[in-house]
Structure 1
Amino acid sequence: MEEVSYRNATRDELDIAVSWAAAEGWNPGLDDADVFWETDPEGYVVAERDGEVIATGSIVSYGDFGFMGFFIVKQELRSQHIGTGFWQWRKEMLHKRLTPGAAIGMDGVFDMQPFYARGGFKFTHRNLRMEGVGRPSQPAGNLSELSMVPFDKVADLDKRCFGFDRERFLRKWIAPKHGLALGAFDGDHLQGYGVVRQCGRGYKIGPLFAETSETAESIFLALSDRAAGEPIFLDTPENNPAAMALARKYEMSEVFGCARMYAGPAPSLPWENIYGVTTFELG
């Protein structure tokens, strides 16, 4: 048997990672792989043995910030210490892709927190996946489809809430093939924006960024209307009480969750404006 080797993934191998994520119950979006690949084609890696992909991972670089995700070992090969070396290699490779001193973030499943902590990651809070049912509503009059909004306004708000520039990702993310992206305005000021996209099961809202709880609610209701009658999910930061209150108001319940952790200095983000994180895979 050959030794395990590590390398960059091909585009088809990113589809393997997405399919494994779906099998784990992570419910990726129908078009996530296309957007993820175009964001950073060098940001996906695999472990290989005897010509077979046995583990996947992402090491996406935003220049001044990195994000690790898609850490999956093929199910029948777990508990063979395959993941430990692969994870360490991924972290080292991502550090090399970032500016010196840049932090790395991740949303790790709760059971893996001790492992990630031993690798230098520190816990900040939990992001909880809340599930409900999309409901019909009459969208507020101050909402506009993001395709009609000057991109620089969206990019500015996104950078405030995400902490770093991710223009390449954002241009594709706010134009979902199977979904809707909306912004809320006060005059010409963009107060918030959100995206809903179709997934293997139902729809996910992410991100949901807003300056006030009222704005967040109006965007949420309009996106929920797009998914009326279908399961709907919101990955809600537990450290924003208003976000948790919004989910509870619309009878959403916790079905999954991840620990947000950082290696290096955690970015100072306005969590009071973050009602739904974008993705557990890319931050």
Structure 2
Amino acid sequence: MKHTYHIRRMQADELHIAIDWASEEGWNPGLHDAETFYQADPDGFFVGELDDQIIAVGSAVCYDQDFAFCGLYIVHPDFRGQGYGLQLTQQRLRYVDTRNAGIDGVVENISIYERIGYRLAYHNMRYQGLARQSKLDQNAIVALSDINFAHLAAYDRQCFPAPRDAFLQAWINQPDSRAIAYVKQGKLMGYAVRRKCIEGHKIGPLFADSFVIARHLLTDLQQDIVGEAIFLDITEINPAAKRLVEQLKMQEVFSTGRMYLKSQPRLADEKIFGITTFELG
């Protein structure tokens, strides 16, 4: 019997399949990742079907005409090593077209990604700890909903290679989350989002003008979940981010290779204390 394999765009109500598989892989997705991820680019999610059965998933979110990010790439364990994933990736790269694209690749697969055109830029690391009670000055902390969205989008753009307004609106307003900003004398100087996951809470993004502001934001996000697990994905190109997680006695549990098809985007790397997600950049 000849099997038929084809690749098509994922429908909104199918994204939960990718999130469920991510959970089975131990990626600890957020409870509302399916709904929020889809807002980034509804055309950027793909499935590979073998005889009408979904066996592979992956995303290629195009943020604008110049930048995309590929992630959520999983082939069902029963069908790995048979070329189905490569075909899905080739389709995603066709969708990316001439854009620069980033990925957070599993470290042991970096050589595979290099063969399809990606180049390693640096590493990102996931740190885990327990939320702690701490004293903090809350005078400068405000709800992110109090911030003019245009100001937030402009701040975010310093730390991310493309505008992502639709995604950002969904991300900061998702259920089971807290989104806060640091404001002094009317100036936005940092913001952070915490979302509930299968296990504990992930914090990201955590963007801030300084180490002290990043610590204020991170500390504030722990006060109502003391004793629960928290996760922060940092980048090695901001040494202050590593100092932050070490001060909080968080432990590294996972790492990725941040890779790009073209050159590494020029960003305010010193403000990136926590990336948004390994899946969407």
Q: TM-score, normalised by structure 2?
A: 0.96
Q: Look up the match of 1:103.
A: 100
Q: Look up the match of 2:91.
A: 89
Q: Look up the match of 1:263.
A: 261
In 1, Cα distance between equivalents of 2:226 and 2:173: 20
Asked if 2 retains the 8 angstrom alpha-carbon contact of 1:180 and 1:226, the reply is no
Q: Look up the match of 2:15.
A: 14
The answer to which of 218-227 and 177-186 deviates more is 218-227
The 3-state SS of whatever aligns with 1:239 is coil
Q: Which amino acid aligns with 2:203?
A: I
Aligned residues: 278
Output one character per residue of 1:172-227: Cα deviation in whole Å (capped at 9) or x when no partner: 11123101011001111100000000000000000000010000000010112233
Structure 2: segments with no counterpart, 5+ residues: none
Q: Look up the match of 2:46.
A: 45
Q: Look up the match of 1:178.
A: 176
In 2, Cα distance between equivalents of 1:68 and 1:37: 13
Asked if 1 retains the 8 angstrom alpha-carbon contact of 2:194 and 2:204, the reply is yes
What is the percentage of aligned positions where both structures have the same residue?
40
In 1, Cα distance between equivalents of 2:134 and 2:174: 21
The 3-state SS of whatever aligns with 1:226 is coil
In 1, Cα distance between equivalents of 2:134 and 2:3: 58
CA RMSD of aligned residues (A): 1.1
Cα deviation for residue 264 of structure 1 reads 1.4
Cα deviation for residue 81 of structure 1 reads 2.1
In 1, Cα distance between equivalents of 2:223 and 2:161: 29
Asked if 2 retains the 8 angstrom alpha-carbon contact of 1:130 and 1:233, the reply is yes
Deviating beyond 4 angstroms after TM superposition, the runs of 4 or more aligned structure 1 residues are none
Q: Look up the match of 1:132.
A: 129
Q: Look up the match of 1:98.
A: none
Q: Which amino acid aligns with 1:223?
A: L
Q: Which amino acid aligns with 1:6?
A: I
Cα deviation for residue 138 of structure 1 reads 4.2
In 1, Cα distance between equivalents of 2:106 and 2:124: 10
Q: TM-score, normalised by structure 1?
A: 0.95
Asked if 2 retains the 8 angstrom alpha-carbon contact of 1:134 and 1:225, the reply is yes
In 2, Cα distance between equivalents of 1:257 and 1:116: 16
Cα deviation for residue 40 of structure 1 reads 1.5
- Residues 1:5 and 2:2 aligned together: no
Aligned positions of 1:236-247 closer than 5 A = 236-247=234-245
